[in-house]
Amino acid sequence: MTVIVRNDERPGETQDKEWWMGEVIHCGGAARDPSIYNLFQVADVDSGVIRWVNADLVTHILPDKRCDQTE
């Protein structure tokens, strides 16, 4: 699944863009209800950097076209 992530301010990093696109590697569930995802491990499609992202920063979810195919 591909996601658009709002760029958060991190210490020591320049704020050169408002958002970035990433590919979700892993979804993490909340402690009280594991079926609700609140953290995503995402690989930045431009740089390849892998980050943990809070679900609040995900602004758009782009569905994977491979999942739409029916046989």
- CATH number for the domain that contains residue 52: 2.30.30
Asked if residue 69 belongs to a domain, the reply is: no
Residue 70 in domain: no
What's the per-residue H, E or C state across 40-69? EEEEECCCCCEEEEEHHHEEEEECCHHHHC
How much is the pLDDT for 71?
Answer: 44
Q: Determine the Cα angle at 32 with ends 29 and 37, to 5°.
A: 20
**Amino acid 66: pLDDT:** 55
Number of domains making up the chain = 1
**By residue range, what is the domain housing residue 55?**
2-8+19-64
Tell me, yes or no, if the pTM score tops 0.85.
Answer: no
| Residue-wise pLDDT tens digits, 12-68 | 666 678 899 999 999 988 888 878 889 999 999 999 999 999 999 999 998 876 544
